Structure 1
Amino acid sequence: MSLLADLLLKVKHHQQPRKDIPPGLKNIILDSNKKEALKRRIILLSILFALTIISGLMAIYLMQSYFAGPPPSQTGQVAQVTKEVGGRQLIVDSQKKRLKTVKTRESKGKEKVGEDISEEQRIKEEAQPVQEEKTQQAEVSAAGVEKPKVDTSEKDAYLYMARNYELKKDYSNALSSYKKALNIEPKNYRIMNNIAYIFLQLNSFEEAMDYLQMAINVENDYVPALINMGIVHARLGRPSDAEGYLSRAVILEPYNKHALFNIAFFYEGQGNYDRAQDYYLRLQRTVDINGYLGLARIKEKLGRTDDAIKIYRDASRIEDLDPETRKLINERIRILEVK
Structure 2
Amino acid sequence: MNPKYANYLILANDFLEKNQLKKAQRAFEKSLHFAQTKKDQVDSLFELADLSLQLEDPAGAQDLFRQILSLENHPGAYYGLAISGESLGQDKDQIIQNYQEAIRLDPSYTKAYFYLAHVYFDLKDYDQARDLFLRCLDLEPEDFICYNDLGSLYEEQKDYQKARTYFLKSLDLCPSYARALYNMGVVENRLGRPRQALAYYEKSLEEYSHPYTYLNMSAIYFALQEDREAEKILKRGLTHHQDSVNLHYNLACAYVHLKDPARALEELKKAIKINPHARDWAGTDIDLKELVKEL
TM-score tier by shorter-chain length is 0.5 to 0.7
Partner Cα separation in structure 2 for residue 243 and residue 103 of structure 1: 36
Change (3 A) 1:261 1:186: same
Give the aligned partner of residue 252 of structure 2: 334
Change (3 A) 1:153 1:300: farther
> Per the alignment, in what secondary structure is the counterpart of residue 309 of structure 1?
helix
TM-score, normalisation: structure 1: 0.54
2:165 partner amino acid:
G
- 1:161 paired to 2:81: yes
- 1:295 paired to 2:217: yes
Partner Cα separation in structure 1 for residue 179 and residue 73 of structure 2: 31
> Per the alignment, in what secondary structure is the counterpart of residue 221 of structure 2?
helix
Partner Cα separation in structure 2 for residue 311 and residue 234 of structure 1: 25
Partner Cα separation in structure 1 for residue 159 and residue 72 of structure 2: 39
Task: Report which structure shows greater RCO (CA 8 Å, sep ≥6).
Answer: 1
> Per the alignment, in what secondary structure is the counterpart of residue 265 of structure 1?
helix
Partner Cα separation in structure 2 for residue 286 and residue 62 of structure 1: 34
Give the aligned partner of residue 226 of structure 1: 147
Structure 1 stretches lacking a partner, 5+ long? 1-60, 75-98, 105-150
Q: How much has 1:296 moved relative to structure 2?
A: 1.9
- 1:308 paired to 2:230: yes
> Per the alignment, in what secondary structure is the counterpart of residue 285 of structure 1?
helix
Structure 2 stretches lacking a partner, 5+ long? 1-21, 30-44, 58-70, 258-295
> Per the alignment, in what secondary structure is the counterpart of residue 130 of structure 2?
helix
C-alpha distance after superposition, 1:308-327 (max 9, x if no partner): 11111111111xx373xx22
CA contact (8 A) 2:167 2:180 kept: yes
Query: Based on CA coordinates, which of the two structures has the bigger radius of gyration?
Result: 1
CA contact (8 A) 1:230 1:246 kept: yes
TM-score, normalisation: structure 2: 0.61
- 1:65 paired to 2:65: no
C-alpha distance after superposition, 1:36-55 (max 9, x if no partner): xxxxxxxxxxxxxxxxxxxx
1:162 partner amino acid:
A
Q: How much has 1:205 moved relative to structure 2?
A: 0.3
> Aligned residues, how many?
205
Alignment of 1:213-292 (within 5 A): 213-289=134-210, 290-292=212-214
Matched-pair identity in %: 17
C-alpha distance after superposition, 1:73-121 (max 9, x if no partner): 59xxxxxxxxxxxxxxxxxxxxxxxx995789xxxxxxxxxxxxxxxxx
CA contact (8 A) 2:215 2:250 kept: no
